[in-house]
Amino acid sequence: MSEMNELFYKNPYLASFDAVVTSCETVKKGYEITLSDTCFYPEGGGQPADLGTLNGISVLDVQRKKDDTIVHLTASPFEIGSTVHGEIDWHHRFSLMQNHSGEHIVSGLIHKKFGYDNVGYHMSDVITLDLSGPLTWDELMEIERETNQVIWDNRPINILYPSDAEIEKMDYRSKKELCGTIRLVEIPEADLCACCGTHVYRTGEIGLVKFLSMINYKGGVRIEMVAGDLALKDYDKKLNSNQVIQRLLCLKPDEIADGVKKILDESQKKDLKIAAINKKYNELKIASLPDDREILIDFEDDLNGIELRKFCDSLKNSGKASVCAVFCVSEAYPGNELPPISYCIGSTGPDLKKVSKALNDAFNGRGGGSSEMIQGTFYTDREKLETEFSTVLKEILP
Ligand SMILES: [Zn+2]
């Protein structure tokens, strides 16, 4: 053990302390400070490091070194021998305690019921839990009910330091990341696990555990869960988003799913109707175009790339001309004198691949395609295309 007093083990609820600076080393990211006492928990056992301040200066990270020393990373140096006042971000720490204790109940109950191990564990805005065997969503929901029952029973969470003789007889869960003396966290009739993290005194403080998702992962499952403060934040976020959807769609709270499905069905019907109208329009438009030209030019409004290509393809297949060029002028936008003009050119005769580059050069554009069809954008004005396109194309055609 280091000589530093690890106050977070003596009292995990202690949020401020005074200590003497015992060393201050310059490192790449700032200064590593060691203290006579600390309630800053160093990252370990799946639990992130505490946040907070020393004399008002932010503690950026807290790590346990190989020799067991706990170092506090700061941006400013501290004088060795001076006294500092430390404060941890209690809200952050308590949330970690709620979530860590919640995870123990979940892992313990799953281990009891299915024999699976917790093989990966990560705490951030959500808790990610990897289990060594498969589960169904219904089985997971049953675990969620049992976990919350343990929470509402308000059972004590006991920290045990068993002797070697005692530990021989004990059946406890153990993860890879063990640090120092064997420290067991016991939640009666739910879990017994070796752990170096900080925990709440009673399960009731966890408040709630909620599973968010489950996917198959490396022969087992990866579960996302939230507890305590994180569960409340998650509830808030989802409620706010539901309320926005409700207001936008004029739905009652329990009608959202059905209401959205109805709107999507209606939207799909509209899409089909629009497609049928477009088809009809294309047929009529193509019929109205002259069929005595070698090169046919047509301007259309408001077509996206796919619609433009479809229209050009129908026009080409109609046999009206051996080269059909369809243009669509984008709305002019501020600061751009020449709005982009999308083009799609189809040919049943000449090889368009051979003229693509020359056309782009002539009308300041880019794009390309096959021998039968090229597509792209010209940055020129409509008038120039109307008056010069046919002449330019004829000159460059092979
Ligand atoms: Zn733990």
> Does residue 149 sit in the same domain as residue 191?
yes
- 40/49 Cα distance (integer angstroms): 7
Ligand 1 midpoint to CA 157 (Å): 12
- 394/272 Cα distance (integer angstroms): 40
- 78/84 Cα distance (integer angstroms): 9
Domain that holds residue 262: 251-288
pLDDT at 178 over 60: no
Ligand 1 midpoint to CA 359 (Å): 68
Ligand 1 midpoint to CA 200 (Å): 12
Ligand 1 midpoint to CA 121 (Å): 9
Question: Using an 8 Å Cβ cutoff, are 199 and 159 in contact?
Answer: yes
State the alpha helices, DSSP H only, in 324-381: 356-362
- 34/80 Cα distance (integer angstroms): 9
> Does residue 152 sit in the same domain as residue 221?
yes
Ligand 1 midpoint to CA 66 (Å): 20
Confidence of residue 332 (pLDDT cuts 50, 70, 90): low
User: How is the beta sheet containing 323-329 ordered, strand by strand?
Assistant: 295-300, 323-329, 341-347, 373-378, 365-369
Ligand 1 midpoint to CA 122 (Å): 11
Q: For the packed helices 228-249 and 90-114, what is the interaxial angle rounded to 10 degrees?
A: 90
Q: Does the residue 244 lie in any domain?
A: no
pLDDT digit string, tens, across residues 228-285: 999 999 999 999 999 999 999 999 989 999 999 999 999 999 999 999 998 999 999 9
Ligand 1 midpoint to CA 317 (Å): 70
Tell me, what's the pLDDT at 224?
A: 98
Average pLDDT over residues 63-68: 94
> Does residue 229 sit in the same domain as residue 99?
yes
Question: Using an 8 Å Cβ cutoff, are 58 and 211 in contact?
Answer: no
> Does residue 170 sit in the same domain as residue 110?
yes
Ligand 1 midpoint to CA 236 (Å): 27
Q: Does the residue 49 lie in any domain?
A: yes
Ligand 1 midpoint to CA 176 (Å): 11
* Residue-averaged pLDDT of the chain: 94
Neighbouring CB atoms inside 10 A of 61's CB total: 18
Ligand 1 midpoint to CA 165 (Å): 23
- 114/120 Cα distance (integer angstroms): 17
Q: Does the residue 139 lie in any domain?
A: yes
- End-to-end C-alpha distance for the chain, whole angstroms: 87
User: Into how many domains does the chain fold?
Assistant: 4
- 11/27 Cα distance (integer angstroms): 30
pLDDT at 88 over 90: yes
Confidence of residue 1 (pLDDT cuts 50, 70, 90): very low
Ligand 1 midpoint to CA 173 (Å): 10
Ligand 1 midpoint to CA 81 (Å): 34
Tell me, what's the pLDDT at 335?
A: 62
> Does residue 347 sit in the same domain as residue 224?
no
pLDDT at 334 over 80: no
> Does residue 100 sit in the same domain as residue 127?
yes
By the 10 Å C-beta count (0-12 exposed, 13-18 middle, 19+ buried), 374 is classed as buried
Percent of the chain scoring above 90 in pLDDT: 87
pLDDT at 85 over 90: yes
Residue whose structure tokens are 């751009």: 336
Ligand 1 midpoint to CA 23 (Å): 30
Confidence of residue 165 (pLDDT cuts 50, 70, 90): confident
Average pLDDT over residues 326-348: 83
CA angle 158, 164, 170 (to 5 degrees): 55
By the 10 Å C-beta count (0-12 exposed, 13-18 middle, 19+ buried), 322 is classed as middle
Ligand 1 midpoint to CA 271 (Å): 53
State the alpha helices, DSSP H only, in the chain: 7-10, 90-114, 137-152, 164-168, 228-249, 256-288, 305-317, 356-362, 382-396
Q: Does the residue 392 lie in any domain?
A: yes
Tell me, what's the pLDDT at 58?
A: 98
Confidence of residue 336 (pLDDT cuts 50, 70, 90): low
Q: Does the residue 316 lie in any domain?
A: yes
> Does residue 174 sit in the same domain as residue 259?
no
Q: Does the residue 246 lie in any domain?
A: no
> Does residue 192 sit in the same domain as residue 60?
no
CATH code of the domain in which 180 resides: 3.30.980.10
Ligand 1 midpoint to CA 87 (Å): 23
pLDDT digit string, tens, across residues 104-131: 999 999 999 999 999 999 999 999 999 9
Average pLDDT over residues 69-98: 98
> Does residue 163 sit in the same domain as residue 115?
yes
Closest to 173 (Cα-Cα) out of 157, 156, 190? 190
* Exposure class string for 180-194: b at 16+ Cβ within 10 A, else e: eebbbbbbeebbbbb
Ligand 1 midpoint to CA 53 (Å): 25
Tell me, what's the pLDDT at 3?
A: 66
What does pTM read for this prediction?
0.80
pLDDT digit string, tens, across residues 28-55: 999 999 999 999 999 998 999 999 999 9
- 240/272 Cα distance (integer angstroms): 33
> Does residue 277 sit in the same domain as residue 155?
no
Ligand 1 midpoint to CA 198 (Å): 8
Ligand 1 midpoint to CA 104 (Å): 6
Average pLDDT over residues 144-149: 98
Q: Does the residue 245 lie in any domain?
A: no
Ligand 1 midpoint to CA 48 (Å): 11
> Does residue 214 sit in the same domain as residue 315?
no
Ligand 1 midpoint to CA 217 (Å): 21
Q: Does the residue 256 lie in any domain?
A: yes
> Does residue 39 sit in the same domain as residue 52?
yes
Ligand 1 midpoint to CA 196 (Å): 6
